[in-house]
């Protein structure tokens, strides 16, 4: 191994000067069960509050972690003990939320957990909360687990990012919240979330269609154009016609309504599109 050589500041600065910061992130809760949405709506949390406002009130989140459970294998080689993975294990995730002066963020966590354990309020033998014989019965997992919750960590230019989508996420505990007469501080609520698994990278249908899901074809600029060229195997071209409409080629003309495209503001496509940009489904810096 050769001895180490000193490096100039100009060689180190491009690396250490481009590290990610912790304060740029976005949390998005996605609850697809109608019964759970209705349960929360009746208590003051509509779908828009759950999807948008709760994410903004999340003052601290954690990017997920995982590990591999292993088994010891002895006997394949004399005198050698091996370890082989048999399961992937996901750790719990903690989130901290600012409590608004309507206490809806606290109620969101409280009533989500309440809904999970409210099976005894349904069916023939349902029991009221106020009944002294009330008991807890858990609902089915498909009724309360979220498969659309996402955490996106991005940089301040909003172009470079990493996205995590969670399957089977639900709150497993809500920490006690301390209040005190000794000075006024922002009230916060902390909850622990459990999930079945997560996927790193974009996972929406358009990402799967464009083959940019699961962190594939990630561009340095973050525009969605990985510079891999046209991989569709078909004829694709993008051009602006005389009347201001865009021709997207065979692939996108079969997907997009031409009347809808012609009504788009010209500011969206007042540029020259390359074949690869059209292939990736972009008009300027906006995805279609």
What percentage of the chain has pLDDT greater than the value 90?
Answer: 47
Q: CATH for 10-66+84-123+135-200?
A: 2.30.110
Give the least confident one: 22-36, 120-134, 175-189, 222-236.
222-236
What pLDDT sits at residue 220? 54
Give the least confident one: 52-66, 211-225, 232-246.
232-246
What pLDDT sits at residue 203? 81
Nearest C-alpha neighbor of 145 from the set 203, 107, 193, 191:
193
SS3 for 229-273 is: CCCCCCCCCCEECCCCCEECHHHHHCCCCHHHHHCCCHHHCCCCC
What pLDDT sits at residue 9? 87
Q: Where exactly are the structural domains of the chain?
A: 10-66+84-123+135-200, 239-287
| Confidence grade of residue 110 (pLDDT, cut at 50, 70, 90) | very high
What pLDDT sits at residue 202? 83
Cα within 13 Å of Cα(265), Cβ side = 4
The helix or strand, by DSSP H or E, that contains position 90, with its residue range, turns out to be strand 81-90
Mean pLDDT along residues 57-77: 93
Q: Do residues 240 and 278 lie in contact, with contact meaning Cβ atoms separated by under 8 Å?
A: no
Neighbour count for residue 45 (Cβ, 10 Å) = 21
What pLDDT sits at residue 94? 95
Q: Cα angle at 188 between 186 and 193, to 5 degrees?
A: 160
Nearest C-alpha neighbor of 92 from the set 193, 236, 215:
193
């Amino acid at each position: 191994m050769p001895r180490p050589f000193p490096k100039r500041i100009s060689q180190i600065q491009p690396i250490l000067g481009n590290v990610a910061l912790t304060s740029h992130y976005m949390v998005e809760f996605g609850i697809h069960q109608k019964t759970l949405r209705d349960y929360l709506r009746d208590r003051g949390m509509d779908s828009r509050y759950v999807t948008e406002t709760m994410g903004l009130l999340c003052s601290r989140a954690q990017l997920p972690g995982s590990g591999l459970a292993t088994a010891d294998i002895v006997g394949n080689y004399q005198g050698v003990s091996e370890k082989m993975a048999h399961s992937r294990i996901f750790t719990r995730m903690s989130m901290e939320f600012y409590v608004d002066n309507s206490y809806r963020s606290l109620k969101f966590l409280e009533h989500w957990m309440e809904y999970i354990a409210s099976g005894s309020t349904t069916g023939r033998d349902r029991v009221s909360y106020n009944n002294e014989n009330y008991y807890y019965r858990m609902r089915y997992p498909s009724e309360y687990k979220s498969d659309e919750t996402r955490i996106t960590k991005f940089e301040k230019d909003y172009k470079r990012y990493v996205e995590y989508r969670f399957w089977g996420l639900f709150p497993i505990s809500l920490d006690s919240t301390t209040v005190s007469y000794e000075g006024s501080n922002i009230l916060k609520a902390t909850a622990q979330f459990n999930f079945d698994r997560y996927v790193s990278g974009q996972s929406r249908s358009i990402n799967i269609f464009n083959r940019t899901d699961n962190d594939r074809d990630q561009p340095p600029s973050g525009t969605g154009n990985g510079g891999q060229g046209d991989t569709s195997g078909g004829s694709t071209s993008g051009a602006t016609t005389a009347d201001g409409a865009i021709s997207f080629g065979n692939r996108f003309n079969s997907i997009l309504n031409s009347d809808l495209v012609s009504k788009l503001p010209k500011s969206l496509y007042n540029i020259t599109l390359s074949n690869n940009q059209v292939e990736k489904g972009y008009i300027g810096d906006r995805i279609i």
